Amino acid sequence: MNPRVLADLRKFLKVADHAPGRLRLKVDLALLRHPAAAQLRALTPETWPGLRGTRFDVFTSTLTLDYDPAVLPGELFEELLAAPDDERAVQLAARLCGTTPA
């Protein structure tokens, strides 16, 4: 996952429920018109180390991420979604993705 894309998409996501290893996000359906939305739908354990799986529920407009809390610090997800500016969001997204910002 590209950290800049993840940081940009954060404005369409809100935490609905979070327990270690499972994050359920409320998705603003305007996200579907975003050019990078396909990258979010394409998340797999192969594309994002520590991710165990994803599920999108069209009826509730929620995206559930199952993740390994030993690999992905869960608090970073919430911090990313609440980031006050894009620069901080990219830094947090890069930490979550295990990369450096491009």
Which domains does the chain possess? 3-97 (3.30.1360)
Give me the pLDDT at residue 42, please. Answer: 81
- Rg, Å, the chain Cα set: 12
| pLDDT digit string, tens, across residues 39-55 | 887 888 888 889 999 99
Read off the pLDDT band of 76 (50, 70, 90). very high
Specify the DSSP class assigned to residue 82.
Answer: T
| pLDDT digit string, tens, across residues 78-98 | 999 999 999 999 999 999 888
**Phi, psi angles (nearest 5°) of residue 100:** -110, 150
Judged against a pLDDT cut of 60, whether residue 102 lies above it is answered with no
| C-alpha span between 44 and 48 (Å, rounded) | 6
Task: Give the dihedral sign, CA 97/5/76/40.
Answer: negative
